[in-house]
Amino acid sequence: MTLHRPGVTVVGLGPAGPELCNTATLDAIAAHRHRYVRTARHPSVGVLGADVVALDHHYETAESFEEVYAGVVAEVVAAADAHGRVLYAVPGSPMVAEHTVELLLADDRVDVQLVPALSFVDLAWVRLGIDPLADGVRIVDGRRFPVEAAGERGPLLVAQVDTAEVLADLVASVPDPPEEPVVVLQGLGGPDERILTVAWEDLSTTVVADHLTSLFIPRLAAPIAVELQRFAELVAILRRECPWDADQTHTSLRPHLLEEAHEVLEALDDYDEASGDGSEALEEELGDLLFQVVFHSRIAADDGRFDLADVARGIHDKLRHRHPHVFGDVVAADSGTVLANWDRIKQAEKGRASSLDGIPPTLPALATAQKVVRRAAGVGMAPGVPTVALPAGGDALGDLLLGMAVAARDAGVDAEEALRGAVARFTAEVRAVEAMATADGVDLRDADPEVVAAYRGRGTATTGHS
């Protein structure tokens, strides 16, 4: 035996007054004794007759729109179960911006019949004088604008901008406001129809939003956050659906990260600061490097450790903390002071005993030497080696380094190992001096040069370093 489910006939009341209700809608209304309407706040609600049941009470009792929609659907389904078939009327067209209809269609307790109707968007295209297909217009929900407009540059028709809060949130969600004015559409097809052209910055103060308010935005700049979110979602899809991406680990990606970093350096070598030549190549290589960051973050997220938001939040907070001369009351007149402050804050954050802690051991000898010398300068120490006066410019230094490499070769010495050994000796001296000062409760970063020299003399006597 076949069991027939209760039925719901869904009709649309059109965008405005009764004159825009179509014949099919009126015939369906006449054919149903039990009639329900999502909201009585509509110019055509009178065509439903005096016995219609308005469901506005769900808006008054629910704590969220999701609860409103669920409550409306539950009441309509219960009515259909009680009466066999009911009519459910919504503003506009049943399939345009009607979440309750979506829920009804997905509900296997009822059979749903849809009666097409005129929508507000049909009037919008006429008033705007545009063909939405030719212009590629996308329709988005005002309440979900920050999500639904993600990555979109326009044109956009924003529906259901029905409160001042929705309008304010919409305006606030666009960090790069469009230069072109926005067209505000209100009460389309009704006696109080208004079409206004308003500058973006004036929307919140000029427009009084109501349930018949829509916006047409000709063009938007895609926000950075939106592009990053789209990228992060793409990487997540690759991890799920691409066999190669799914197989990767933090360890397996090491060579790829190194390769992409070197390709960025190559692009920087080819980039011209004055003319901007090489910008496209640099942009592409930075994207490849960014992919590595997002990929590692995705792997960690899949393991339940951290995600891209944690990475971004962490670097944001760290940079803010390490720039007290920007975000605090510390004074830093030059780059040298900024770097010294940076090293001091970093050492305190990490709980490091020495200013030289945390230098990666895998760095090349020359890069290690530069880091060690810079950090040691923060505690008043410099290596006791001869210094060479150079003409201005980096070419002379490069020539000198090349000459030293030649000399090392002629002497049968590995220049990399020789420099690494010198750095190791100086590092040992710095650590010994810092340890003695710390034991005495002295902070060498704030000490006079004479105090540093005295500790250095003690360290020389102890370690035998010169």
| Domain extents in the chain | 7-118, 122-217, 224-321, 356-463
343 φ, ψ (degrees, to nearest 5): -65, -40
Q: Cis bond leading into 132, ω under 30°?
A: no
Confidence check: pLDDT of 394 > 80:
no
Determine the CATH number of domain 122-217: 3.30.950.10
CA dist 435 → 347, 428, 440 (Å): 14, 11, 9
3-state secondary structure of 380: coil
Residue 461 CB contacts under 8 Å (≥ 6 apart), including other chains: none
129 φ, ψ (degrees, to nearest 5): 70, 40
3-state secondary structure of 351: coil
Per-residue pLDDT tens over the stretch 146-179:
777 766 777 889 988 988 888 888 888 787 788 8
pLDDT at position 387? 74
3-state secondary structure of 193: coil
Cα distance between residue 188 and residue 196, in whole Å: 12
Cα distance between residue 96 and residue 88, in whole Å: 15
How much is the average pLDDT of 276-293? 95
pLDDT at position 3? 60
Burial 211-220 (b: 16+ CB within 10 A, else e): ebbbbbbbeb
Lowest mean pLDDT of 222-231, 245-254, 429-438, name the range.
222-231
pLDDT at position 1? 41
pLDDT at position 340? 77
Per-residue pLDDT tens over the stretch 402-431:
999 999 999 999 999 999 999 999 999 999
Confidence check: pLDDT of 465 > 60:
no
How much is the average pLDDT of 252-258? 95
Task: State the DSSP H helix or E strand holding residue 400, giving kind and residue range, or none if neither.
Answer: helix 394-410
Residue 428 CB contacts under 8 Å (≥ 6 apart), including other chains: 463, 465
How much is the average pLDDT of 274-281? 93
Radius of gyration over every alpha carbon of the chain, rounded to an integer in angstroms = 35
How much is the average pLDDT of 239-250? 95
3-state secondary structure of 9: strand
Q: How confident is the prediction for the chain on average, in pLDDT?
A: 88
Q: Decide if 410 contacts 450 (C-beta within 8 A).
A: no
Exposed, middle or buried: residue 159 (CB in 10 Å: 0-12, 13-18, 19+)?
Answer: buried
Q: Decide if 145 contacts 42 (C-beta within 8 A).
A: no
* Residue 87 CB coordination number (10 Å): 27
How much is the average pLDDT of 254-274? 94
What CATH architecture applies to the domain 7-118? 3-Layer(aba) Sandwich (3.40)
CA dist 386 → 49, 363, 389 (Å): 100, 24, 10
Cα distance between residue 356 and residue 377, in whole Å: 11
pLDDT at position 282? 96
Q: How confident is the model at residue 223 (pLDDT cuts 50, 70, 90)?
A: low
Per-residue pLDDT tens over the stretch 124-148:
999 999 999 888 888 888 888 877 7
Cα distance between residue 220 and residue 157, in whole Å: 12
DSSP per-residue codes, 264-307: HHHHHHT--TTT-TTHHHHHHHHHHHHHHHHHHHHHHHHTTS--
pLDDT at position 385? 78
Percent of the chain at pLDDT > 70 equals 95
CA dist 378 → 83, 343, 385, 420, 441 (Å): 84, 8, 18, 21, 17
Q: DSSP class of residue 92? A: B
Per-residue pLDDT tens over the stretch 310-369:
998 999 899 998 899 888 888 888 887 888 788 778 777 777 778 888 888 888 889 889
End-to-end CA gap in the chain: 101
Confidence check: pLDDT of 466 > 50:
no
Exposed, middle or buried: residue 61 (CB in 10 Å: 0-12, 13-18, 19+)?
Answer: exposed
How far, rounded to the nearest angstrom, does the alpha carbon of residue 77 sit from its chain's CA centroid?
40
Fold of 224-321: Helix Hairpins (1.10.287)
Per-residue pLDDT tens over the stretch 5-25:
899 999 999 988 899 999 999
Per-residue pLDDT tens over the stretch 50-92:
999 999 999 888 888 889 999 999 999 999 999 999 999 999 8
Confidence check: pLDDT of 107 > 90:
yes
pLDDT at position 279? 94
Q: Decide if 314 contacts 300 (C-beta within 8 A).
A: no
Per-residue pLDDT tens over the stretch 292-313:
999 999 999 999 999 998 998 9
